[in-house]
Structures are given as structure tokens and as C-alpha cells.
């Protein structure tokens, strides 16, 4: 057994996101049950005054924790640990409470205290493993769960969590093998069948995943997570209305707050994806709850804008989520400028690379970079420059005004080009593109996100599929893929005969102003769902998005209503790249023919 917490958590931090399906379980309830029993037994023993006081406070803290009064539970657990610093239970409960409150780093410090006092506490290993998992310390989490299994070989929770970590590390076969052995031993454990489904789903087979989720529901008809995961799978197979019913069926059975948050977030996407925007945007606000798994924590003293009249006010808009999201949500900036009026101001805090482009595109707004850092596995973001004479009256995350500015699909209108690249650079790139060999139209191409993880890989097609899509079209293809993609370009040419022209004198990752100009200069942009695609579409460039399945951004349409000139290509079955690329190939040939005739 390891001698210190550091031995468990040693290893590099992993940058991958958690899976969309819910699977991990903690030992909070086991710990509470064991603590009740230990406190009852303590009544029969002689105790020091310090331990007696500690136990009284601990009993009160546990009751507060059970009714989810986390602030009071944390305060009482802290008092209990102060009354008797040798009580590992007090530190363990304090760690659980801090974790539920989202203070992961502080929770780990309290687990350290509990570990030092009681290294034989099996519940501690399961809960510590979950905290490490949330911090994306997958190696440390794996060690904790293995030790828990050694201590509790007949408890399915350890196998369940270990398999889920292996899944998130991309070790799908190892996860399946572990779960098969555990199910042979504990065939009635619904959580194990559920987690088999999450592993299969992360490999992209959402139809088969549902079989395992349904078995979990058969074994435990009140298993909220399994209902949630059926909904998640149905979302990917395009059955959004059916997915909505499963997320709603999950709600009464989700006793843990973070599970309810996950279900509300997933439900919001389905509602938006089916055009039910009013309810969808309202639920989408759960992303801003400080205890939501991927919440951005916004540092601003001003109150949140709640849709009230802000004429003459100063509104600070804080960019949120990823680069592509910031670009997409910027479509609301003209509306917010209209709301503040000529006597008001809009302060637009955006990703630093977007400042030149946003400043040109929204001259009536004051643009500056947002600043951020990681805090308890979440992003803390603010705009330090929005102070003094620029002190805002109200503040909003960039997507929150969708509730008031886009309450219906019709509110998007016909879309518009709202980003304006430098005209001189557009002319420069048109001249460069005209000099490329061949006579066909020029298509800019971005085939994947720069961040490809185990969970994200299924949303992006292989290079071979892109070669199928462009075959026989006569198009001259230009690289819009940011990041290091030289190997992909070489592979496309050597293995699949697909030539992608790349310009070495443009930094597509960091010079977004010039990347926007190049996108406008192309006759067409064909793209996976990436920031490069959002950038092109926002400039008004004709942009075709190639998707793995039906999503929320299209809102049930065949295009992206956020932009002026887009199409969305989706397969009939999730991840059926042969199907969608054949459709894309026909559309590209038709466009090329029409252009030649014109």
C-alpha cells in the first residue's frame, strides 16, 4: 500500500474531457452509512472530551450533508476536525463536501489529511479516485480504484469506476474485459451493465450501447443514470424527441446534484436541437452553475444581465467555452449594441486572437482580451481592463442573451455575415489562390479539430473519407486546418491522391484575422464542426459543415441559422462517413457543374 497521497496521484494530467454518458460512482453513501454506525458504536465507549465534541458536530454535519445543505455540512465538518484533529472521518466528510461544492483542490488536501489518519479506510480510496478523475489525473484515479478493488473485491463500484477511467484513457478493450469479469461475478449489478454501455458508446456504437443501458434499467427500474445514458445514445442516433423523454424520465431518480446538472444540460441540447428554444435556452443556463462539471467561473463584480432594459448602460460580454463558440455567440453582438443604444456601451471580452477581427467587425463595441486561469479543474475568466471608466453596469456570459434575443428559431432570420476581415488581405489571398495550378473552384478544407481526444475522435471523419468526398470534383483544395497538420497533408497526397495546397506564410492558429481573409477568398469552405468552420461562416463565406450526426446547433434545420450561407451534411446513422461523404461528393460535383455552366 502506498505511503502517501502523492503516490496515488503521481502521473501527468490528462487534457481529455469526461464522457457524455454518466457512469462513475462514489462511496459517499457508504461512508455516511459507515459513519453512522461508527458514531453509534462510539456511544458505548469511553471518549475524550475532544472526541465527544467532535462526534456531536460530525453527527450534525452528516445530517446536513444528507439533506444537501452543503455549506452547513462543510462548516460543521470543519468545526469537528478542529475539535479533534485526529478524527479522519471529519476530514473525509469535509473533503466530500468541498468536492460537491466544486472546490476540488481543497477537497484533495482534506483527503490527504484523512489518508494520513486512516489509510485503511476503503471508502476513502473510492472518493479520492473520483476527485482525481474529475481533476483529470487519470493515472492516480486508476491506482485508487485498483486499491479499492483489492480491499472490496465484492463491491461493483471499484470495477465500475476503474473501467470508466480506462474508457476515458482510450483503453476500451481493457475496460470491456474488466467489466465482463465483474459481471460474471456480480450479474445483478446494474451499474456494471450501464458502464459497458458507456464504453461501447464512446467507441461510436450508440445502437449497441442502448442494449446494455436497457439491461441496467431492467435490473434497476429506478436507475436514473441509465435513463440518462439511453437519452445520450438516442441523441447521437438522431432521435432527439425520444431522447427528451428519457432525460425527463431520468430526473426523478437522479439524487445527486451533479447528475441532475448533466441531465439538464443534455436535455437542453435536445430541446434546442428540435427547435424548442425557450425551454432549451432556460435549461442551457445550467452550464453557468458553479458546481456544473465544465462551468466557466466568471470574475465580475457587476450583476448579471437578466434581460431587462439596458439602454444607456455599460454591458460587459464575456466570451465563453471554446474559440468556435465565442465566434458563433458573437452573432448576438449587433443585437446587444442595439439594446444598449447610442448612450450605452458594449464591452466585448474575447479570446486574445479574436481582438483585431472583432474590433473591426464591431466598431461600436470596445473589444479587449479576456484573462483566465484554471481553478479547481474549471476555467476562471474575467476582463481586468473593464474597470475605472469602463466599469460595467451589468455583465453576461456570451450565450446567455440567447434567451431574450433568440427565443424562437425564426428569431435568427436568414443569418448574416457579421465578421469583417481586412479587405486588403482578402484581395491578397484571392490573388494567391488564382495562381494555384488548375482551373477549378477553390475549396478551403478543415477536416478535424486541433484537439482530438478519446471522446472527441468519433465526431471527425478519417482522411480517407475526405478523399472520397472530393474525388472527381475538379476542385482545388486549400488548407484551413490549424495546428500541425503537415503529416495529414502528406498522407492525403501519398495514400489517397488528395492534394491539399498549404501556404507556409500564414499562421492559421494564431492569426485569425488573416485566416478569416483566406476563408472569404475561397469559393467554398468545407469543414468539420471546428472553430475554423465557425470563422469562415461568420464572415459570410459559403460554408458546408460535415457532421457525424444530428446536433443542436442546426436546430433541426439543414443549415446553421447563426450564419448567412451554410449547409449541414449529416449521415442517416451516426458516424456513417461513407454515407455522408457520398452525399457531399454529389453536392460538390453539382456545384462544380453549375459553376462551369455559369
Q: Is the pLDDT of residue 14 over 70?
A: no
Q: Measured in whole angstroms, how far is the alpha carbon of residue 441 from the centre of its chain?
A: 36
Asked if 219 contacts 188 with a C-beta cutoff of 8 angstroms, the reply is yes
pLDDT tens, residue by residue, 455-496: 656 778 888 899 999 999 999 999 999 988 999 999 999 999
Count CB atoms within 10 A of the CB of residue 210: 20
Element (H, E) at 396: strand 394-397
Asked if 570 contacts 587 with a C-beta cutoff of 8 angstroms, the reply is no
Give the pLDDT of residue 454. 54
pLDDT tens, residue by residue, 261-308: 999 999 999 999 999 999 999 999 999 998 898 889 899 999 999 999
Mean pLDDT of 179-183: 97
Give the pLDDT of residue 450. 53
Give the least confident one: 123-132, 305-314, 393-402: 123-132
Grid cell for residue 73: 455540512
Non-local (6+) Cβ contacts of 317 within 8 A are: 333, 336, 346, 347, 348, 349, 395, 396, 398
Mean pLDDT of 194-223: 95
Pairing of strands 566-569, 543-546: parallel
Q: Is the pLDDT of residue 20 over 90?
A: no
Grid cell for residue 246: 428519457
Structural Rg of the chain based on CA atoms: 27
Q: Is the pLDDT of residue 2 over 50?
A: no
Mean pLDDT of 63-67: 89
- Helices 240-250 + 257-273 axis angle, to 10: 160
Asked if 575 contacts 204 with a C-beta cutoff of 8 angstroms, the reply is yes
Residues β-bridged to residue 526: 445, 544
Indicate the pLDDT class of residue 33, thresholds 50, 70 and 90. Answer: confident
What value, to the nearest 5°, has the Cα angle with vertex 23 and ends 113 and 161? 45
Give the pLDDT of residue 7. 45
Residue 147 CA to residue 3 CA, distance in Å, equals 13
Non-local (6+) Cβ contacts of 425 within 8 A are: 513, 514, 517, 518
Indicate the pLDDT class of residue 24, thresholds 50, 70 and 90. Answer: low
Count CB atoms within 10 A of the CB of residue 385: 14
Give the pLDDT of residue 457. 62
Mean pLDDT of 415-436: 96
pLDDT tens, residue by residue, 341-392: 999 999 999 999 999 999 999 999 999 999 988 776 678 999 999 999 999 9
Asked if 291 contacts 100 with a C-beta cutoff of 8 angstroms, the reply is yes
- Cα first-last separation, the chain: 75
Non-local (6+) Cβ contacts of 246 within 8 A are: 227, 228, 230, 231, 234
Residue 77 CA to residue 53 CA, distance in Å, equals 12
pLDDT tens, residue by residue, 525-572: 999 999 999 999 999 999 999 999 988 999 999 999 999 999 999 998
Indicate the pLDDT class of residue 66, thresholds 50, 70 and 90. Answer: confident
CATH class of the structural domain 423-597? alpha beta
The domains of the chain are located at: 1-169, 296-407, 423-597
Give the pLDDT of residue 25. 62
Indicate the pLDDT class of residue 6, thresholds 50, 70 and 90. Answer: very low
Q: Cα dihedral angle (336, 338, 344, 345), rounded to 10 degrees?
A: 40
Residue 276 CA to residue 552 CA, distance in Å, equals 11
Burial of 389 (0-12, 13-18, 19+ CB in 10 A): exposed
Give the pLDDT of residue 5. 44
Average pLDDT, rounded, for the chain: 90
Give the pLDDT of residue 231. 97
Mean pLDDT of 145-157: 94
Residue 9: phi and psi, rounded to 5, are: -95, 5
Which CATH architecture describes the domain 1-169? Alpha Horseshoe (1.25)
Non-local (6+) Cβ contacts of 431 within 8 A are: none
Give the pLDDT of residue 22. 53
Give the pLDDT of residue 101. 83
Q: Is the pLDDT of residue 19 over 80?
A: no
pLDDT above 90 as % of the chain: 72
Q: Is the pLDDT of residue 8 over 60?
A: no
Give the least confident one: 120-124, 328-332, 423-427: 120-124
Residue 280 CA to residue 197 CA, distance in Å, equals 27
Q: Is the pLDDT of residue 43 over 90?
A: no
Amino acid at each position: 500500500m502506498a505511503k502517501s497521497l502523492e503516490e496515488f496521484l503521481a502521473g501527468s494530467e490528462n487534457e481529455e474531457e469526461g464522457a457524455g454518458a454518466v457512469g462513475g460512482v462514489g462511496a459517499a453513501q457508504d461512508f455516511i452509512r459507515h459513519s453512522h454506525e461508527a458514531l453509534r458504536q462510539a456511544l458505548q465507549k469511553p471518549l475524550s472530551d475532544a472526541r465527544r465534541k467532535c462526534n456531536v458536530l460530525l453527527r450534525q454535519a452528516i445530517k446536513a450533508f444528507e439533506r444537501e445543505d452543503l455549506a452547513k455540512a462543510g462548516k460543521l465538518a470543519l468545526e469537528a476536525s478542529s475539535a479533534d484533529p485526529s478524527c479522519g472521518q471529519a476530514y473525509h466528510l469535509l473533503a466530500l463536501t468541498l468536492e460537491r461544492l466544486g472546490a476540488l483542490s481543497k477537497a484533495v488536501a482534506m483527503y490527504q489529511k484523512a489518508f494520513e489518519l486512516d489509510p485503511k479506510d476503503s471508502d476513502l480510496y473510492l472518493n479520492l479516485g473520483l476527485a482525481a478523475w474529475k481533476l483529470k489525473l487519470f493515472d492516480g484515479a486508476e491506482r485508487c480504484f485498483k486499491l479499492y478493488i483489492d480491499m472490496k473485491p465484492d463491491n461493483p463500484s471499484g470495477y465500475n469506476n476503474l473501467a470508466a477511467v480506462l474508457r476515458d484513457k482510450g483503453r476500451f478493450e481493457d475496460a470491456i474485459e474488466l467489466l465482463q469479469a465483474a459481471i460474471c461475478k456480480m450479474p445483478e449489478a446494474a451499474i456494471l451493465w450501464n458502464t459497458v454501455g458507456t464504453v461501447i458508446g464512446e467507441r461510436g456504437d450508440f445502437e449497441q450501447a442502448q442494449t446494455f443501458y436497457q439491461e441496467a434499467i431492467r435490473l434497476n427500474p429506478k436507475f436514473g443514470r441509465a435513463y440518462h445514458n439511453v437519452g445520450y445514445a438516442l441523441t447521437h442516433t438522431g432521435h432527439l424527441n425520444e431522447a427528451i423523454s428519457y432525460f425527463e424520465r431520468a430526473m426523478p431518480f437522479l439524487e445527486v446534484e451533479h447528475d441532475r446538472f448533466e441531465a439538464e444540460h443534455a436535455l437542453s441540447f435536445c430541446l434546442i436541437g428540435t427547435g424548442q428554444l425557450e425551454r432549451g435556452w432556460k435549461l442551457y443556463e445550467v452550464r453557468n452553475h458553479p458546481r456544473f462539471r465544465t462551468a466557466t467561473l466568471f470574475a465580475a463584480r457587476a450583476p448579471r444581465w437578466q434581460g431587462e432594459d439596458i439602454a444607456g448602460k455599460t454591458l460587459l460580454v464575456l466570451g465563453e467555452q471554446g474559440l468556435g463558440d465565442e465566434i458563433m455567440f458573437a452573432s448576438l453582438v449587433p443585437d446587444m449594441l442595439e439594446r444598449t443604444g447610442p448612450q450605452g456601451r458594449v464591452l466585448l471580452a474575447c479570446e486574445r486572437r479574436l481582438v483585431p477581427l472583432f474590433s473591426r467587425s464591431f466598431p461600436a463595441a470596445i473589444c479587449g482580451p479576456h484573462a483566465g486561469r484554471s481553478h479547481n479543474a474549471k476555467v476562471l475568466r474575467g476582463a481586468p481592463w473593464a474597470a475605472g471608466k469602463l466599469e460595467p453596469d451589468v455583465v453576461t456570459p456570451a450565450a446567455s442573451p440567447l434567451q431574450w434575443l433568440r427565443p424562437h428559431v425564426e428569431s435568427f432570420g436568414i443569418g448574416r455575415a457579421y465578421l469583417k476581415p481586412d479587405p486588403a488581405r482578402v484581395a491578397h489571398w484571392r490573388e494567391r489562390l488564382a495562381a494555384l495550378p488548375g482551373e477549378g473552384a477553390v475549396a478551403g478544407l478543415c477536416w478535424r479539430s486541433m484537439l482530438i481526444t478519446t471522446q472527441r475522435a468519433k465526431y471527425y471523419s478519417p482522411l480517407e473519407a475526405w478523399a472520397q468526398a472530393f474525388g472527381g470534383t475538379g476542385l482545388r483544395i486549400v488548407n484551413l486546418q490549424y495546428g500541425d497538420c503537415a503529416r495529414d497533408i502528406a498522407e492525403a497526397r501519398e495514400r489517397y491522391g488528395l492534394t491539399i495546397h498549404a501556404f507556409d506564410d500564414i499562421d492559421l492558429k494564431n492569426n485569425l484575422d488573416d485566416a478569416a481573409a483566406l476563408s472569404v477568398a475561397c469559393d467554398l469552405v468545407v469543414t468539420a464542426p471546428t472553430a475554423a468552420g465557425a470563422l469562415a461562416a461568420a464572415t459570410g463565406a459559403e460554408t458546408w459543415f460535415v457532421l457525424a450526426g444530428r446536433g443542436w446547433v442546426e436546430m433541426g434545420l439543414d443549415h446553421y441559422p447563426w450564419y448567412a450561407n451554410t449547409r449541414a451534411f449529416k449521415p442517416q446513422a451516426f458516424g456513417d462517413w461513407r454515407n455522408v461523404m457520398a452525399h457531399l461528393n454529389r453536392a460538390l460535383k453539382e456545384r462544380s457543374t453549375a459553376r462551369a455552366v455559369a
